Structure formats: C-alpha cells, structure tokens
Amino acid sequence: MVRVPVRFERVAAAFHDVSWVRLGESSGSEHSPESFTDLSDLVNSFIERDGGAFDRDHDKEVVDNEKEQNHAESSDSSESETKDMLQSLFGSDDDGGDRDEIRAATELASKGLIGDRSSPGFKRQLMARLRDMGFDAGLSKSKWEKTGRFPSGNYEYVDVNVCGNRYIVEVLLAREFEIARPTNKYTSLLDVFPSIYVGKVEDLKQVVRLMCKSIKESMKSMGMPVPPWRRNGYMNSKWFSSYKRTTNEVPTGKTESDEAFAGKRSVGFEALPVISRYCRDDFQSKVGLRVGNLVAVLNGNGGMGMDL
C-alpha cells in the first residue's frame, strides 16, 4: 500500500470539511454530506497517487546522494592509492644506491646550465657533464610514425648505463604530464614528482600508466576530451619506442651511412655495450700496457731492419 504523508491527509480533511460547509450554506438543505463523497474520494485518490510519486522521487534522490558520496569516497581512495604508488616508484632505491648516486650527480651537473631544461640542447649538455663525471651517459632520441590515433613525433632524453641497468634521467618530468584546467586532485599528483627523476624503464612505464589514467579522469570531470598527445599510447612512444643513442657533446651532421646505421641499430631498447665507470681506470691501464708493448716491438724491428 502506498504510504501517504500525514500532511496530505490533513489537507484532504480540511479541504473536505471546508467544501462541505461552504456548499451546504450556499445551497440550503438540498445538499448533504453524502453528496460530497465523490469529491472526497477524488481528493484522496489524487493525494495517494502524487504522494507516492513524491516518495519515489525522494527515495531516488537519497539513492543518488549515496551514489555521489560513494563515488567521492572511491575517488579519494583512488587518489591516495595513486599517490602512494608514485611515491614508492620515485623514492625506492633497490639497486645498491645507484639511483641516488645518479640523481645527486645529475643535480650537480645541471647547475649553471643555461636554457630550457626540456630542450635537447640542455639535455645534451647534461649528458656531456655526466660523462665527464665518469658515468656512461648518452642522449637517446626516439622517433615514431603517425598512426590512426596518434600523430608522429620525436623526443630526446638522457639515459645512464650502470652494471647492466639502464636508467632514464629526466629533469622536471612533471612538465611532460601537464594538462589544461587540471583538477585539484590531479595537481596534487604532480606535486609528488621529484625535480629530478631517475628510474629504470619498467618503473617509468608504471608512472606513465598511472598518470595517463589520472589525466583521463581529470579531463573527463571537467568535460574536456583527452588530446592525442596526452594519451597512454603517445606518452609511451616518448621513452619506449625505437631510439638512437649518441654520446657526442655537440650535434653532428648526418650522412647516408649514418642513416643506414641508425636504421639497423634503432630497434627499441636494444642491449647496448655497457662501459662501467668503475672499470674505466683498469681499462685505461690495460690499453696503455698493450700500446707500450707494441711500440717496443716496432722499435726493435725497426732497428733490425737498419742493420740489414
């Protein structure tokens, strides 16, 4: 049975009494209370019908409010989890301190460099300074073609090889994830980013996945479409597509042989020969010893030739 609000019952009773009295007074004794039964039934029927609709609307409003509250709580929980995961990826160093050492060296090497920190020129200078400090650093340039969903592009970044591990080095990584009209929740994620990022390839992949998901949620809540250059596929191409690595301090002109060589070597995270900076002195001492022996032999042979 449909529940009728009490206030509607009171209105119906008042309406019934007032109508009967006024009509009875104006029409004399020809009208009796029984003649107004149909009117009372109509009023009660109307109240019951609309009262039920009111209750349904009220119940729906309560359910919607509960859904919004649950969604807000779920969103807050998701934001907290994302922050924790990012902080874990940025802060952990399970490589015997290599990450911290590269980060400290990068911070020192970047001091005094002029120019936009996201420019190729800045990154090339940073790479050169890291090499002067004994690190096997390089400037990797990725390039990808246009697909149905994403435009073509290229990107340059610094990497460092240590003991068989390849680390991506980014100064101001948060800039690569900036979007228009970000929500406060998304901005709070960018605040977690360190000024200098150093991490393995698999760690950066997780960072990109988490941030692209958050980009989608942020822009959707603002009623904005996600641009192609902020989607997961495009962002992955920056660091994880095929690349060419160079260790030159200044850019060099390309020749046909260089282009052919680049086509053979740019296969995407190909294992490169790693020169450990810990073995540089030992390597130089061995090379120097071999050169000295070779010179001695040549001098000896030269003397014998003159005697003959």
| Same domain for 55 and 99 | no
Query: Lowest-confidence range among 123-127, 147-151, 169-173, 224-228?
Result: 147-151
Sort residue 269 into left (φ over 0), alpha (ψ -120 to 50) or beta. left
Confidence at residue 282, expressed as pLDDT on a 0 to 100 scale: 44
Contact 126, 110 (CB under 8 A): yes
Got the DSSP string for 254-306? --HHHHHHHHHH-SSSPPPPP--GGGHHHHHHHHHHHHHHHHHHHHHHHHHHH
Domain count, the chain: 2
Confidence at residue 45, expressed as pLDDT on a 0 to 100 scale: 59
Calculate the alpha carbon distances from 130 to 93, 134, 175 in Å. 20, 7, 22
Confidence at residue 261, expressed as pLDDT on a 0 to 100 scale: 35
Confidence at residue 251, expressed as pLDDT on a 0 to 100 scale: 79
Q: Which residue has the higher pLDDT, 70 or 218?
A: 218
Q: Is 273 exposed, middle or buried (0-12, 13-18, 19+ CB in 10 A)?
A: exposed
> With pLDDT > 70 as the criterion, what percentage of the chain qualifies?
55
Cα 26 to its chain centre, rounded Å, is 79
Domain assignment present for 39? yes
Calculate the alpha carbon distances from 281 to 57, 96, 276 in Å. 80, 22, 10
Domain assignment present for 80? no
Q: Which candidate, 190, 189, 194, 186, places its Cα nearest to that of 226?
A: 186
Q: Which residue has the higher pLDDT, 258 or 61?
A: 61
| Same domain for 38 and 105 | no
Of the ranges 20-24, 56-60, 94-98, 103-107, which is most confident? 103-107
Which two tokens mark 239? 């660091």
Of the ranges 74-78, 230-234, 274-278, which is most confident? 230-234
Q: Which domain holds residue 41?
A: 6-70
| Same domain for 208 and 146 | yes
pLDDT, mean over the chain: 73
| Same domain for 108 and 63 | no
| Same domain for 138 and 196 | yes
| Same domain for 199 and 147 | yes
Q: Which candidate, 200, 207, 215, places its Cα nearest to that of 236?
A: 207
Given a cut of 70, is residue 275 above it in pLDDT? no
Contact 98, 204 (CB under 8 A): no
Distance between CA atoms of residues 243 and 263, nearest Å: 10
Q: Which candidate, 45, 43, 50, places its Cα nearest to that of 16?
A: 43
What pLDDT, in 10s, does the model give residues 218-257?
A: 999 999 999 999 999 999 999 999 999 999 887 765 533 3
Q: Give phi and psi for 297, each to the nearest 5.
A: -65, -45
Confidence at residue 75, expressed as pLDDT on a 0 to 100 scale: 53
Query: Lowest-confidence range among 48-57, 104-113, 135-144, 271-280?
Result: 271-280
Which two tokens mark 20? 């009967």
Q: Which candidate, 250, 267, 226, 244, places its Cα nearest to that of 155?
A: 244
Query: Lowest-confidence range among 121-135, 198-212, 245-259?
Result: 245-259
| Same domain for 258 and 113 | yes
| Same domain for 127 and 27 | no
Confidence at residue 253, expressed as pLDDT on a 0 to 100 scale: 59
Distance between CA atoms of residues 257 and 254, nearest Å: 8
Q: Which residue has the higher pLDDT, 17 or 81?
A: 81
Which H or E run includes 125? Answer: helix 120-132
Q: Could you tell me the CATH number of the domain that includes residue 189? A: 3.10.670
What pLDDT, in 10s, does the model give residues 55-69?
A: 555 455 544 554 444
| Same domain for 28 and 162 | no
* Three-state DSSP state, 91: helix
Domain assignment present for 229? yes
Mean of pLDDT values over 180-192: 95
Given a cut of 50, is residue 158 above it in pLDDT? yes
Confidence at residue 249, expressed as pLDDT on a 0 to 100 scale: 84
Given a cut of 50, is residue 110 above it in pLDDT? yes
